[in-house]
Every structure is written in structure tokens, then in C-alpha cells.
Amino acid sequence: MANPVAEAGRDARLRHGWLRSNRFLILRRCSQLLILLMFLSGPLWGIWILRGNYSASLLAETVPLTDPLMMLESLLAGHWPAWLVWVGAVVVLIYGLIGNRVFCGWVCPVNPVTDLAAWLRRKLGLRQSASLPRSLRYGILLVVLVGSAVSGTLIWEWINPVALMGRGLIHGSGEGVLAWLKGLGAAFGAGIWLIVALFLFDLLVVEHGWCGHLCPMGALYGVIGSQGVVQISAEKRDNCTRCMDCFHVCPEPQILREPLLVKKGTPRVASDACIACGRCIDVCAENVFEIKSKFHYSGAKK
């Protein structure tokens, strides 16, 4: 029998304890915070680990890292980057090898905002929402790329919430903690209202609206990681009690239906929509889900 939405994960917490039933959530927040601190180490302490922002940066003042979407926009707009920037395409190789939308779940600074909106929806019982096709994000991705080619500009970078939030958090006025705090509000500028709008959109209009339906960056990372090595698998799906907790917390619940409920199919969550957040593993009291290699032979019954 399905558990109440507001109590998703309660059985896992009672059986396994709070820490174990939130371990992937904690690891993701640590990953997101660590990457942000790598950017902030320069403005705050004068130690430049990552210089730049989430769209383009330099690692240790040497290795360029470039967001794949910005790279494609640049190429289509006719702004051929210097040869060093091409090295930034290593980002594509890394995410492609790992698989899934790892950037969305483990790096993106907007993810904690949308996760908070989803958590509040569950706690407040706000289950009614508008309906949008999840394929819409691929249409937006196509519009962004075509628009860049036609206009000759990086059109997405003007409104990219990830870049706007990154710039707001990273760029203060000068170095040092006090200077950074003083310049934080000015650096955010009007971008803060876009972040607030996304939060309210997810909370009140469409569940998992931004990440699950609209974000073109997520769409591109899904394509890049579609053949990656790391996947989540419902290895012990015979133990499933249909509590539905995993469906309640998953940002892309539709991808769990076949691996978990269709016994004749593969237990691997092979969809490119998966953000590898691990929340299905966290909240499952029966330990149904595990992280596996793409090449792992599953012992789950088919």
C-alpha cells in the first residue's frame, strides 16, 4: 500500500536511521558546496582553484572547462573558440563516461532550490499542478541552438539560471569575505528574481517543472550521458512493497515504472532523464535499488 506523500522515506529512516536514509542527499549537497567553494576560494581567500563560473572556468589557472551547451552555442553563432577552450570539451567526455545527468544532481547550483520546492510540495500536500510534456526541454534546447546560429549570439547565456546564480554566488566586489558579502547583492542583480520565479513555478505550478520539463542544459546532459557506465538498478525489485516512496521523491518518477514494476524488463534505470541523485536508494526501506555498472549482469528475475 502506498505511503502518504508527505511521509516519503519515513520507513527507511525508522529501519536504517536518518544518516543512512539521507546519505546520497548529504553527499550531493557536499559535492555542490565543495564545487562552489572551489570557485569562491579566489574571491574569498585569494587561492584560485576554479576561476570563472559554471559556464566556463579555469581549473588551477591552467585547464579550461566549458559547459557543453555554451560550447555548442559558440560554434553555431560563429564564435570559434581558441584551441585551449576545446580542451574544455573534456567535460563532455567525463559526463559522457559517468552517465546520466550527473551535472544536474551533483553540480548544478539551482538543484538545491528546485529540491526545496519539491520537498515543500510534499510537506504541504500541493499535489495538483499543471501538465507539461517532459520532451519540451528538448524543444527548448533546439530553439536555443537554432537561435544562436541565426542571431550570432549566445542567447541562452542571457537568461541561463545556472549561470546567473553562479555569477551571483561567486562574483563579489574584490577579494576577501567582507568585500564578497558587500558585492553579493549587486552581483545577483535581477537574476535573483529569476531564481525566485523558478522556485515558485516548481512549488505552485508544475512539480519538478524546471529541471524535469524545461531546462535545456539538463536535456543536453541527458543526451551526453545516455550511454554512460554508471546506472541505478532495481536489483531487488521482488522485495518492493509498492510503498511508492521512490516515486514520491524522484525528480523523474516516470523512469522508475518499467525497471521496478515491469517484471519482464531490465531492472536497470537506463533512461537518459535520470539525474543519478540516489534518492530512490535513500528512501527505500527494502533496499531495492543499487548503483551498478552498465555492464553488470543483473540477477533480478525477468
pLDDT band at 99 (very low <50, low <70, confident <90, very high): confident
pLDDT band at 221 (very low <50, low <70, confident <90, very high): very high
Query: What is the rounded distance in angstroms from the CA atom of residue 224 to the CA atom of residue 269?
Result: 16
Residue indicated by cell numbers 579555469: 58
Per-residue pLDDT at 83 exceeds 70: no
Which of 171 and 56 is assigned the larger pLDDT?
56
Which region holds residue 78: left if phi is over 0, alpha if psi is between -120 and 50, else beta?
A: left
In this prediction, residues 114-128 reach a mean pLDDT of: 90
pLDDT of residue 38: 92
pLDDT of residue 164: 80
pLDDT of residue 193: 81
13 contacts: CB under 8 Å, gap ≥ 6: 21, 22
- Eight-state DSSP code of residue 287: -
In this prediction, residues 233-241 reach a mean pLDDT of: 90
C-alpha cell belonging to residue 100 = 546520466
CB–CB of 262/234 below 8 Å? no
Query: What is the rounded distance in angstroms from the CA atom of residue 130 to the CA atom of residue 74?
Result: 34
Longest Cα–Cα distance of the chain, Å, equals 60
pLDDT band at 94 (very low <50, low <70, confident <90, very high): confident
φ, ψ of residue 298 in degrees (nearest 5) = -80, 140
CB–CB of 140/86 below 8 Å? no
What pTM, to 2 d.p., does this model score?
Answer: 0.88
pLDDT band at 265 (very low <50, low <70, confident <90, very high): confident
Mean confidence (pLDDT) of the chain:
85
pLDDT of residue 300: 55
Per-residue pLDDT at 175 exceeds 60: no
pLDDT band at 282 (very low <50, low <70, confident <90, very high): very high
Look up residue 40 and give its amino acid.
L
24 membership: H or E segment, kind and range: helix 23-45
pLDDT band at 173 (very low <50, low <70, confident <90, very high): very low
Per-residue pLDDT at 60 exceeds 60: yes
pLDDT of residue 192: 78
pLDDT of residue 41: 86
pLDDT of residue 244: 93
Which of 271 and 207 is assigned the larger pLDDT?
207
Residue indicated by cell numbers 516515486: 247
Query: Which residue, 86, 51, 52, is CA-closest to 68?
Result: 86
Alpha helices in 83-225 (DSSP H): 83-87, 90-98, 102-106, 111-124, 136-151, 161-170, 177-188, 191-200, 209, 216-224
pLDDT of residue 298: 58
CB–CB of 24/277 below 8 Å? yes
Which of 81 and 263 is assigned the larger pLDDT?
263
- The end-to-end CA distance of the chain, in Å, is 23
171 contacts: CB under 8 Å, gap ≥ 6: 43, 53, 183, 187
Per-residue pLDDT at 32 exceeds 90: yes
Query: What is the rounded distance in angstroms from the CA atom of residue 109 to the CA atom of residue 28?
Result: 11
Share of the chain above pLDDT 90, in %: 45
